[in-house]
Amino acid sequence: MKASTFRLGINLWPPFLFTGIHVTRITPDYRQIEVELRMRPWNRNYVGTHFGGSLFAMTDPFWMLGLMHTLGRDYYVWDRAGAIDFLKPGRGTVRTAFHIDEAVLDELRAEAANGEKVLRWFSNDVVDASGEVVARVRKQVYVRLKPQARGSAA
């Protein structure tokens, strides 16, 4: 799927649309994704800052989705685990970015070449308008070469 079509679709997806989560950029190769969370009355917590679930949701699918599109159909790619550290109250519009470089893709392909599962941790920061870190998110992604692709990968 073209990145621009995917971006439009995910921005209209109700869980993102109604929480103020907005994908602002996806490069055509899916290696760079930028997301923002806009403050809305319905995504504030009791004390007027961003609801922690919304902060996590804005980061949740993008390591997996980026890897799925860059590694291609020969690989299973799943989210396996996640963690978030809330470092500062989030107010206003907050942002985060995901960058997948060629070296990481090469490592994943090499580690998965024999058909074994590969578990890799990725992390990114959610920052406010002044660039201060509001939350630090870690996601563990599962990657495995599909059986039918093993013969062609050798």
Task: Write the pLDDT tens digit of every residue in 3-62.
Answer: 999 999 999 999 899 889 999 999 999 999 999 999 988 888 999 999 999 999 999 999
Under a CB-based contact definition with an 8 Å cutoff, are residues 38 and 57 in contact? no
> How many other C-beta atoms lie within 10 A of the C-beta of residue 1?
9
- Distance in angstroms (rounded) separating the CA atoms of residues 33 and 2: 13
**What is the radius of gyration, based on Cα positions, of the chain?**
17
> How many other C-beta atoms lie within 10 A of the C-beta of residue 94?
25
For residue range 96-109, what is the model confidence (pLDDT) as tens digits? 999 999 999 999 99
103 exposure class (CB count in 10 Å sphere: 0-12, 13-18, 19+): exposed
**pLDDT the model gives residue 151:** 66
pTM reported for the whole predicted model: 0.90
